[in-house]
Structure 1
Amino acid sequence: MDAIFTSGIFMSFFIALLLFTKRNKALTDRILAVWVVFIGLHLLSYYLYHLGFWEMYPHMVGITAPFPLIHGPMLYLYTLYSLRNDTKLRMVDYWHFAPFLLGYLSMFEFFFFYSAEEKRLVDHGEVDDFALSTTIMLIGFIVSGLSYSILAYRLTWKHKRKIDDNFSYEEGINLDWLRYCIYGIGIIFFTATIIIILREGLGVQFSFNADFIFYTLIILFIFYIGYFGIRHQDIFAHNTDVIKNNPSLQEKYKKSGLREEALQLGHRRLLEFMSSQKPFLDPKLTLSGLANALEMSPNQLSQIINQQEAVNFHDFVNRFRVDEFIRRAMQNDNFSLLAHALDSGFNSKSSFNSIFKKHKGMTPSQFLKSGRMGGN
């Protein structure tokens, strides 16, 4: 356990150092750097407590007690500014840290007016002067952690809808890595909530130190961030600028004023253009690019696709790519499936496989095998 804690603490400060010294830092880099510093201090404080330092130096008691209240806001702000162009926090963002600061304010008397012996008695539970304050912070931790995890996930979900409305690809602009981070933090908060309810609410006595579960998950999360930062630079880069100025169009097209006749005419033009010109062969095809080729506005094209095809732009374009792949693969089996996929407009093997299975319900090889057998 000592090795796990020391490596987790080291990794926290190491990642923070990399982010603070990074050239051309984005706001998200600074937010993440500050966040992992707090995580490192939180781990260090608990590790010192585990080693008995609080018993030897009672003035360390409770020094990081409000820290759990900062993780939710940091997750939310990191997610929020992964989707914005801002270079600094807005004034309203600082209000997210009010519970964290109030936690320290509630402990002001304890920090500055209690003697070492009194702090030791509080730590041992022999004095319950701060029982109410501790309970409020525990409840605040549960509410904050779960609420901010949900809010952060909603931001990535809205981002996913923007991508599907405006792009025929996801590579380089999706936030799957961030969703995984949110899942991880959500699991940590949920686990801590269960432990707190069982131990503090129902009086369950664990035969082991249940806190180790919570802190071990935090350490694993830190290693995940470190691994992702090395393997996928997206987590430390501002790669979402391409969609910043492309809002979701699903609400706007409802007020566009296009009548049924115009929708049907535009739909026929769209299908003819897709069949004759095959713009979907461009792996980087976007809604605005296709709209320009058709000499209509992106808003109108989005309305036509959504109302006439009942799908978003991403699914509409990739349906043509799937059909093109099938046509090419059935006519010529001298090339690999990946070669046919790339020639059909897909730009990676992973996206091709997932999109094909979504549209056809089976893998490309399974589909072609069943098709050829059926043809025989």
Structure 2
Amino acid sequence: MENQFSVVSLFNIILFTGVIYGLTFCAILFFMKRKTGKPILFLNLQVLFITLNNLQAWLIDMGLTSSLVFIKFLKIPWYFLCMPMFYVFLIYYLKLKKRTKPFMMATLGVFFTFILVRLILISYSQAHHYSESELRSMMMRYGNLEEIIGFLYTMVVFIKSIALFNSRKRQFEFVLLYDDLIWIKHFMNLAGLVILMWVLAIIINLNDQNNNSPIVYYPLRLSTTILIYWIGFKGLFRFRIMEDRIVLRENIKKHLDLEQKDFDWDQKEDRQEKIISKKQQELFNKINTHVIDHKLFLDPFLSLETLANSLELSSGYLSFLINNYSSNNFSDYINELRINQVKQIIKDPEYLNYTIVSIGLESGFNSKSTFYKSFKKFTGMSPVEFKKQIE
């Protein structure tokens, strides 16, 4: 009994901590000065509804609900709105041209119908003088039915979300330029696990003749608490990076003067030179100017071979020039140019509120870890430390 109490207490502490985090997250988003847009609005609503559902469960378990009959038995099915919010978030995040109003109207219609039915049942019980135990039994039976309907609807929306994500990739190729969307796949895997826990809890609860098995919902509530952390961190962070990268890329293109001139050099004379010479130095200078002026280093897939081909040089000869005249190998040569680009953007007050990761990715790095490692290598400090130093 003592062990069971400690486990229940631990679950309630974790649940309450998740509730506090969820409410704080929603409040921060609500009061943010920076415009977030519709994707974050629906992401915020999903976090809010998960939080309210867990808060309601925590209040019931702790016996903190009102003694008034209409409040005590009016259990709001917040869980019903969670997956639909994610579905709409997905549509806006992937920038799909798909109407959401009919879907939202239908979802809210069912949601408020659930609440109305509960109010009617409670009113009926009061008019016919039901005892509290009779009312509790009736509301539990209805609650089981409501939960089954809610689960089936959630499953339908979850399947629609998976189908939307997997079948419309051509329609969100633009988004894939800025986000690999792997985090959404991970979220769907986690959401699938939560749904599996939910169906197990429903089955166990239906087989409990006394309808007294709230403990089977603790793993479910714990997993939704984890889901709050996951959505809150990943969703907002990824959205900010994507939006920042879109603006950064547009601004970089505006300042990039590409005249599309051919790379001008005397192939025969320079190819014959195989020793360190003044002409090779001049050739490297031309290559370096070409790479910088055309910002070729912004391409995360730039390789020694692709650059050599574009210059009509052999990769071996290009490597020889870079190694001898830049004091770096090709990888470090390109990464140093990228770091210089990052430093330039960070120093610009126009990009003060942009995420450092988005700046690194739009400067040519293909991952956060490579960016941070290279920045440390060439500056001796992290990007965050560099930014604080110039503020």
- 1:149 partner amino acid: F
The answer to whether residue 193 in structure 2 is matched with residue 176 in structure 1 is: no
Larger displacement relative to structure 2 (216-225 or 93-102): 93-102
- 1:329 & 1:205 partners in 2: Cα distance? 78
Alignment of 1:1-376 (within 5 A): 1=10, 2-22=12-32, 23-54=34-65, 56=67, 58-84=69-95, 90-115=101-126, 118=130, 120-122=132-134, 124=136, 127-128=137-138, 131=141, 133-158=142-167, 160-162=169-171, 170=176, 172-200=178-206, 209-228=215-234, 232-234=237-239, 283=298, 324=306, 335=328, 338-339=331-332, 347-350=364-367
- 1:121 partner amino acid: S
Question: What is the TM-score with the length of structure 2 in the denominator?
Answer: 0.56
Question: What is the TM-score with the length of structure 1 in the denominator?
Answer: 0.58
- 1:20 partner amino acid: F
- 2:216 & 2:49 partners in 1: Cα distance? 22
Residue 195 of structure 1 deviates from its aligned partner by 2.0
Percent identity (aligned): 14
- 1:328 & 1:145 partners in 2: Cα distance? 58
> Secondary structure at the residue paired with 1:209?
helix
Q: Structure 1 unaligned runs (5+)?
A: 243-277, 286-317, 354-376
Residue 46 of structure 1 deviates from its aligned partner by 0.6
- 1:157 partner amino acid: N
- 2:186 partner amino acid: Y
What residue number does 2:270 align with?
none
Equivalent pair of 2:297/2:334 in contact (CA under 8 Å): no
Residue 96 of structure 1 deviates from its aligned partner by 2.7
Number of residue pairs the alignment of both structures matches: 278
Equivalent pair of 1:35/1:71 in contact (CA under 8 Å): yes
- 1:134 & 1:207 partners in 2: Cα distance? 14
Q: Structure 2 unaligned runs (5+)?
A: 1-9, 248-290, 309-314, 338-361, 371-391
Residue 59 of structure 1 deviates from its aligned partner by 3.6
Per-residue Cα deviation, 1:108-131 (whole angstroms, up to 9, x for no partner): 21344444994842575xx33662
Residue 79 of structure 1 deviates from its aligned partner by 1.0
Equivalent pair of 1:26/1:238 in contact (CA under 8 Å): no
Equivalent pair of 1:188/1:214 in contact (CA under 8 Å): yes
CA RMSD after TM alignment: 4.6
> Secondary structure at the residue paired with 2:215?
coil
- 2:93 partner amino acid: S
What residue number does 1:271 align with?
none
Equivalent pair of 1:66/1:103 in contact (CA under 8 Å): yes
- 2:75 & 2:240 partners in 1: Cα distance? 27
In structure 2, relative to structure 1, the CA distance for the partners of 1:207 and 1:335 (3 Å cut) is farther
In structure 2, relative to structure 1, the CA distance for the partners of 1:346 and 1:134 (3 Å cut) is same
Residue 26 of structure 1 deviates from its aligned partner by 0.6
> Secondary structure at the residue paired with 1:172?
coil
- 2:103 & 2:143 partners in 1: Cα distance? 27
- 2:131 & 2:333 partners in 1: Cα distance? 71
Residue 93 of structure 1 deviates from its aligned partner by 3.1
